[in-house]
Structure 1
């Protein structure tokens, strides 16, 4: 038999029915170009710290500037479109509330702050302050009849005035206004004393005062008067009309709900927050402001809202997929923050609030039947070619955390013993990387991927970068089961690899000489052997190899009966230990293997053309 094109696992197919391409086990192997290639080992990137910069044992991490901030539980998070506390600011939901965190906060040890601020519940009280206000210049003009011929409407008519107050937090986020104060009559030259009787929120640092004005068409607007520190709850308004500022813009800007489940990004640099089966859309670049009119209610509880985009759109424009305990949905947010919801008629309930990822404009999540992929309005079961629902359940999909990176979906899950992963290669335009399914032995809790940083994985207390190590990972690939008559048996095995040396007598003699030298010079560094044996220097890498580059394991009727290290390209004779009906083999290696050859018997050699 000649193995030329290597593939991954097909768990739904019994081992006896697998072709020569597919494997019973494909672990830590990159099946690129039909070859067996090792993945590069990960390299330590950073250590997880908490929100105040102290080391932490985390379940998940968020990249915040130069820090990898860990959390003891999973949280939903996004980049802050407003960048309120710097370019690396993130938003996340914890304990039902929306928080903000930046590297500046971590470095200072202050920790996160709440997003948004509650509005005043009660109206301020207003009283007239005689002779403490603005004296209008119209009084002088009307006194001189040569300057104004008609001042009959001016007289001493007082201005009916009301006031409102808002709160501002340290990030400049302004609350919705208070109810309208009592109305007072302000005569020319009088001022107003405004008192806020509310207890301000803990995160308030300033008050802003607004007063009423009437437009030319008789509409009432609220114009900015002044702002004070939060400790001063009394304000004397002595401003003239021409000194007033902008119109109040936070009329219906309510803060985020206090019982949130998550946060996501959407179009026009807006955010979406949700709880249970409801979600709200923020104002553009204002993640603290949500108008009640944007609330949408779905029939089922929301598990997650995923934000996906293309690299062309960058970080300003996102489309959204909603995973629920029922049907999935897509949502389209218009410029006025109104939302169009489209139900996708596939009953694929999402299993977990955190079992999802985005990749190349698509969203992938764990469902009861397998891994679901949504691109636009197209819904596909990505694992249906590899496994049925029964095999899918073996990988504990309820505990899965997904990462999309480099046209591959990484699925990290809890096994009975240790956390490990599945690697699903998706169809791409690269014809040398065929779709496949394989396993990873990395105990990854969660991972984050971005084109600029690569994939960062949380393992233990450290965060590691995928493929950045200086050594290859050791992989295993086990063939399917070959069913033969009891009189057939394997006789010869050969590995074809550019990384294995050819066998010749001098190398074997040096290998024997080096082994004898190590036994007789136990206390010396093995490198000293090459100081006295100059002819061995060119073979130093092969002689110093602590473990063989390839190990062959032979299985008969499900039992391992033979193990053989392979150090060169020479064919290996297999000892005839026993007869069996079902045969398979496994190779363990950390080098690239192009071909494998297995001669099973003289009869098979004649029929198969003698490839070995």
Structure 2
């Protein structure tokens, strides 16, 4: 008779130790199992101090500047900040946008890296505000008397928009009063121009540099007249009808709601966010413009959102939804059939074709038209709740779902079970360009898997043998290097606790032939390929 393990897998806590599949573990801690071997996970390596940030909680690697090394952006005091890069190709300003730190914000490289760390050094409120009022139109003092005015006079109205240093244009002001004007062409009577008193720029962090003037004539469409500096208060409009430019594009380009959070990038240059029970979408490739007409309301408050290849998953305090469509104005929601609210916004992770988040009964995977609890065969509800899922923050790394909770880290690979790691973190960021997961540990930034090998523990299922048939007398452990520690139990009593120093056969102590229940545990920092015990040397391989 022989007990052998050579294709190691993780824990399935829901099952009794006797009923576990052959190579699943009662305990799998600090071990990397994707190779099928027992390979120790490596501890995170401290790479940078965050001593100047109070209670750091969110991390983002700003990819521009610093000779290609970029800069760390950090936020503290428990804030959950979501950061996205500009959706514009070759953005000259290297802009990023974020929510979770007061009203939604943005900045270019000169703003973000101003001053000394911690960064961002400065920022602007996302979106362009309305002018404080509409413009006021009046006739010039030299206007010809009523009887001398041309029959080609037109009734006109004006609006003003504001434009930032980044070229972002806001929604138009209220329209001016209606006034008559005519083109000052050859032979026209004097005074066809219109004098405009321009509205002032509202206070706030907006970096407004330009006022843009539009005029509507008989067609009722506002068309471009001129750009003037933000400080300009008066303008004389002598632009002819033929010289008018493009139509006003920004009629519905509202500022995002000040409560916006959960900022997420979607394909096609669209940004998404939410507040309360309302999902918000930006204009495509215009991250400052968030039309109210694009908002969608749900029956429950939104907790988190995540983009997948099939659309946007909206996780709420009730059931999740899939929101999909070809453009922001054509998005529609579909409720997914799983009664699992999202317990932690920071637990929601984009896994590619689906997202995973922490629900009441376990981890919920949602993608396409399907959603289900993917850990239903791993944890009971009580076992899952003991991990305090509402405290979880999670990341996708190496095809696995890494969730940090109060007390450690859980690694879930669909179909493989779970492992637990003695690693704590208050936040993290996966840098896809570097292929590295960075963690916030205390007041430092650490790189996942770049430190020393951790001491792992892997304990087998409970093997049941008929009394009298389990006269195990010898064993063998195959490892890349030695020593490794092997512990053997029989009927709950420790049979052996030894340092195995070579691949050679070793002997077990006698006296346990009548024992029924056998368990093997191995610990160490060296990779192990297999372990086995047998009743005779001829059975060992």
Q: Give the alignment's TM-score, normalised by structure 2.
A: 0.85
Residue 64 of structure 1 is matched in structure 2 by 62
Question: In structure 2, what is the equivalent of residue 139 of structure 1?
Answer: none
Distance 1:90 1:29 in 2: 37
Q: CA offsets, 1:215-250, max 9 Å, x none?
A: xxx521222222233223222223333443322111
Hey, what does 1:325 align to over in structure 2? 317
Give distance in 1, aligned partners of 2:493 and 2:112: 55
Mapped to 2, the partners of 1:293 and 1:370 lie a distance apart of 36
Contact 2:93 2:166 in 1 (8 A): no
The 1:401–1:238 alpha-carbon spacing in structure 2 relative to 1, beyond 3 Å, is same
Matches of 2:345 and 2:480, distance apart in 1:
46
Displacement of 1:88 after TM fit?
Answer: 4.8
Distance 1:303 1:559 in 2: 49
- What does the per-residue CA deviation read over 1:46-81, in whole Å, with 9 as the maximum and x for residues that have no partner? 4458xxxx6564112112122221222212332221
Among 371, 389, 396, the residue aligned to 1:404: 396
Q: Match for residue 410 of structure 2?
A: 422
For 2:66, the equivalent position in structure 1 comes to none
* Mapped partners of 1:270, 1:127: distance in 2: 41
Assess, with a 3 A threshold, how the Cα gap between structure 1 residues 32 and 304 changes in structure 2: closer, same or farther. Answer: closer
Aligned residues: 512
CA distance in 2, matches of 1:211, 1:87: 27
Instruction: Give CA-to-partner distance per residue, 1:1-47, whole Å, 9 cap, x none.
Output: 22232221110112243354121111122224532222344444544
Decide whether aligned partners of structure 1 residues 609 and 493 sit closer, same or farther in structure 2, where only a CA change above 3 A counts: closer
Q: CA deviation at 1:84?
A: 9.5
Q: Mapping of 1:243-322 within 5 angstroms?
A: 243-309=243-309, 319-322=311-314
- What is the deviation of 1:269? 0.6
- Distance in structure 1 (CA, Å) of the matches to 2:143 and 2:164: 30
Comparing 551-560 with 98-107, greater Cα deviation is found at 551-560
> Structure 1 residues 67-76 or 194-203, which shifts more?
194-203
User: Aligned equivalents of 1:83 and 1:57: distance in 2?
Assistant: 35
Residues 139 and 194, structure 2, Cα contact 8 Å, conserved in 1: yes
1:123 matched to 2:127? The reply is no
Once the two structures are TM-superposed, the CA of residue 424 in structure 1 deviates from its matched residue by 1.5
Farther off after superposition, 174-183 or 456-465 = 456-465
Distance 1:264 1:33, change over 3 A: closer
SS of 1:293 mapped into structure 2: helix
Query: Is the Cα–Cα contact under 8 Å of residues 475 and 540 in structure 2 kept in the other structure?
Result: no
Residue of structure 1 aligned with 2:340, choices 345, 348, 351: 348
Q: Distance in 2 between matches of 1:486 and 1:29?
A: 33
Q: Whose radius of gyration is greater, 1 or 2?
A: 1
1:591 aligned residue: 526
Does 1:390 find its partner at 2:382?
A: yes
Distance 1:364 1:86 in 2: 35
Superposed displacement of residue 343, structure 1:
1.1
Asked if structure 1 preserves the Cα contact closer than 8 Å seen for 2:284 and 2:328, the reply is: no
Match of 2:209 in 1: 206
Provide Cα deviations, 1:344-373, integer angstroms capped at 9, x if missing partner.
122121112221101132111111111111
Greater alpha carbon shift after TM alignment, 391-400 vs 566-575: 566-575
Tell me which of 419, 433, 442 is aligned to 1:438.
419
Aligned CA distance change for structure 1 residues 95 and 35 (closer, same or farther; 3 Å): closer
Contact residue 85 and residue 171 of structure 1 kept, 8 A: no
In structure 2, what is the Cα distance between the partners aligned to 1:88 and 1:251? 27
Greater share of helix: 1
Going from structure 1 to structure 2, the CA distance change for 1:200 and 1:354 (only over 3 Å counts) comes to: same
Match of 1:338 in 2: 330
CA contact (8 A) 1:327 1:348 kept: yes
2 CA distance for matches of 1:48 and 1:238? Answer: 58
Cα distance between partner residues in 2 of 1:253 and 1:373: 35
The answer to which of 327-336 and 99-108 deviates more is: 99-108
- Measure, in 1, the Cα distance between the counterparts of 2:21 and 2:324: 45
Q: For 1:295 and 1:414, locate their aligned partners in 2 and report how far apart those are by CA, in whole Å.
A: 36
SS for the counterpart of 2:349 is strand
Distance in 2 between the 1:343 and 1:276 partners?
18
Q: How many Å separate the matches in 1 of 2:418 and 2:326?
A: 39
SS state at 2:213 partner: strand
TM-score normalised per structure 1: 0.76
Shift of 1:577: 9.4
Counterpart among 71, 80, 83 of residue 86 in structure 2:
80
Q: 1:478-512: CA deviations, max 9, x gaps?
A: 12334568886765442112434xxxxxxxxxxxx
The yes-or-no answer on 1:183 pairing with 2:178 is yes
Unaligned runs of 5+ in 1: 134-152, 310-317, 428-434, 501-548, 600-604
Measure, in 1, the Cα distance between the counterparts of 2:62 and 2:344: 25
Deviation at 1:450, TM superposition (A): 4.9
Contact 1:125-1:194 within 8 A present in 2 as well: yes
Partner of 2:235: 235
Tell whether the 8 Å contact from 1:121 to 1:179 is kept in structure 2 after alignment: no
SS in 2 for 1:398: helix
